[in-house]
Amino acid sequence: MVFRSLLWLAREVEKAAQEEQANDREAILAQIRHHMAQLEAGEIDEETYERLEDELLDRLDRINDDS
Tens digit of each residue's pLDDT (9 = 90 or more) over 27-67: 999 999 999 999 999 999 999 999 999 999 999 999 888 76
Tabulate helix, strand, coil % of the chain (nearest 5).
90, 0, 10
- pLDDT, residue 66, reads 75
pLDDT at 65: 86
pLDDT score for 67 = 67
The whole-model pTM stands at 0.77
**Burial profile 14-24: b = 16 or more Cβ within 10 angstroms, e = fewer:** eeeeeeeeeee
The domain ranges of the chain are 29-67
Terminal CA-CA length for the chain: 29
pLDDT at 23 over 90: yes
Check residues 25 and 66 and name the one with the higher pLDDT.
25
56, 31 contact by CB (below 8 A): yes
